[in-house]
């Protein structure tokens, strides 16, 4: 929908500063856009292209490769149910089926009120806690139909607002650029010889 806000442009510039080449900041910047709007908007991609001296097509070219980036609005809560082998072995498909029934949508769909999207996803590295899911990339372990319903109720009632930010927000803490930043290590052979 929109270009990056002033505050996010400042964050973007800090991120760009941590790489020897600007384009390396592309994926983190796309996440910033998704954090702002819940998805990666076209105007945001044009803005990112300006910030990185790229063509908008180059931005989209990279962005479209990656599963996490959405190019149209999705639910405020994106529920990713793992159905890979460890989860399949202990009932993941039954869980997905239950989720589809409970929310009245199929995997990949979004509820009419714009609150929930569900997806069946690949391994999320919680195999010993199967079946597992993520809601906006926050884990829930050993999920049962009952605990799934409780999760939906809690999300609907706003009980988890602090714990589960809207779709698009990943880490709530960022690496900060300190005054001591830009400490290149060894850059040339003379420095190695001096050791």
Cβ proximity to other proteins: between 113 and 188 the closer is 188
Let me know the angle formed at the C-alpha of 110 by 123 and 166, rounded to the nearest 5 degrees: 75
**Beta-strand relationship, 138-140 and 133-135:** antiparallel
The minimum distance between CB 115 and other proteins, in angstroms, equals 20
Cβ proximity to other proteins: between 74 and 130 the closer is 130
The minimum distance between CB 103 and other proteins, in angstroms, equals 14
Cβ proximity to other proteins: between 132 and 152 the closer is 132
Burial of 165 (0-12, 13-18, 19+ CB in 10 A): middle
The minimum distance between CB 76 and other proteins, in angstroms, equals 16
Query: Do 81 and 130 touch, CB atoms closer than 8 A?
Result: no
**CA–CA dist 189, 181 (Å, integer):** 22
Cβ neighbours of 172 (radius 10 Å): 7
The minimum distance between CB 149 and other proteins, in angstroms, equals 16
């Amino acid at each position: 929908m929109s270009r990056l806000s002033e505050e996010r442009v400042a964050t973007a510039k800090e991120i760009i500063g941590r790489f020897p080449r600007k384009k390396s900041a592309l994926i983190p910047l796309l996440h910033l856009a998704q954090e702002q709007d819940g998805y990666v908007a076209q105007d945001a991609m044009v803005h990112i292209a300006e910030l990185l001296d790229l063509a908008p097509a180059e931005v989209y070219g990279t962005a479209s490769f990656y599963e996490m980036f959405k190019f149209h609005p999705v639910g405020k809560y994106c529920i990713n149910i793992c159905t890979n082998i460890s989860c399949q072995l202990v009932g993941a498909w039954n869980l997905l089926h239950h989720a589809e029934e409970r929310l009245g949508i199929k995997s990949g769909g979004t509820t009419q009120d714009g609150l929930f999207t569900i997806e069946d996803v690949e391994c999320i590295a919680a195999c010993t806690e199967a079946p597992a899911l993520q809601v906006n990339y926050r884990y829930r372990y050993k999920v049962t139909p009952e605990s799934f319903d409780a999760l939906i109720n809690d999300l609907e009632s706003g009980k988890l607002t602090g714990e589960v930010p809207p779709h698009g927000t990943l880490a709530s803490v960022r690496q900060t650029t300190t005054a001591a930043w830009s400490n290149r290590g060894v850059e040339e052979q003379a420095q190695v010889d001096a050791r």
